[in-house]
């Protein structure tokens, strides 16, 4: 599936590529196209991992088209953010694990998009940040909520309130990305990670992702109870038996997601 703005390649590993160069800016049309791609991923039971990346070497995504801002005065929710937030949340809520392959700068809404992924890897030359306050606006597509959950409140305040843009190594140091790739190797790194994710027990991965996503929003006791129910489901599966026997027999497991 593809169109001019978002390209989706499916398989066991699906790749979603923003295709609005040079900066892959987020417009209404890109939002609609990305939402359609995510809907297709949701419906494809063969997919076990997703990579999202951008086109070109200037930006993974540099955020919103600032030229649209004046027309949004007084109606940014209706005109932009309601649909954008719904699409970003759709990405965050995918049952399968997701990897943001940040092949160039991820700024503003572009970093907010990457924050919706389970894992983020960046090329060493990438810059990352939420510089919206420099324009007199705020991150409106989840950054104010997702960034502090990821790197802690103090660091999130420093980045957002100062509008700081940091390099990939600094992003790695503070936990904003998990790995940094040399120039030209971000595709190979993200694919290697996605292949590892896809090779794990798919039911176990989905259950673990769901539990982790809920962990900071429930009490410890409620979280432990939820984990117990998830373990019961996993231990009722054929995949659990396959994984156990493969370990005992010293062979790779052949999971069938059942």
| Catalytic (active-site) positions | 112, 132
Picking from 85, 15, 108, 12, the residue whose alpha carbon sits closest to that of residue 54 is 15
Query: What Cα–Cα distance (Å) separates residue 228 from each residue in 72, 190, 208?
Result: 47, 32, 11
**Cβ(4)–Cβ(27) below 8 Å:** no
Summarize the chain as % helix, strand, coil (round to 5): 50, 15, 30
β-sheet bridge partners, residue 6: 18
C-alpha–C-alpha distance, residues 197 and 101, integer Å: 14
- Size (the chain), residues: 258
For residue 105, which phi and psi values (nearest 5 degrees)? -60, 140
Greatest alpha-carbon pair distance for the chain in Å reads 64
How is residue 26 annotated by DSSP?
B
């Amino acid at each position: 599936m593809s169109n001019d703005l978002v390209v989706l390649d499916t398989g066991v590993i699906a790749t979603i590529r923003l295709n609005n160069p040079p900066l892959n800016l987020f417009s209404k049309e890109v939002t609609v196209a990305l939402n359609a791609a995510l809907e297709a991923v949701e419906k494809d039971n063969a997919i076990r991992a997703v990579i999202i990346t951008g086109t070109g070497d200037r930006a993974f995504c540099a955020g919103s088209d600032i030229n649209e801002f004046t027309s949004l005065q007084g109606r940014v929710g209706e005109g932009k953010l309601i649909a954008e937030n719904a699409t970003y949340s759709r990405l965050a809520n995918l049952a399968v694990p997701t990897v943001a392959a940040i092949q160039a700068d991820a700024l503003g809404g572009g970093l907010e998009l990457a924050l919706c992924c389970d894992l983020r890897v960046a090329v060493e030359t990438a810059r990352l940040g939420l510089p919206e306050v420099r324009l007199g606006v705020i991150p409106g597509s989840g950054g104010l909520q997702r960034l502090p959950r990821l790197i802690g409140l103090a660091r999130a305040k420093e980045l957002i309130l100062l509008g700081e843009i940091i390099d990939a190594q600094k992003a790695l140091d503070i936990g904003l990305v998990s790995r940094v790739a040399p120039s030209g190797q971000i595709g190979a790194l993200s694919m290697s990670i996605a292949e590892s994710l896809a090779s794990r027990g798919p039911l176990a991965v989905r259950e673990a992702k769901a539990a982790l996503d809920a962990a900071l929003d429930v009490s410890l006791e409620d979280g432990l109870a939820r984990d117990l129910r998830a373990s019961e489901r996993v231990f009722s599966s054929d995949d659990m038996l396959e994984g156990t026997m493969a370990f005992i027999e010293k062979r790779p497991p052949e999971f069938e997601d059942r």
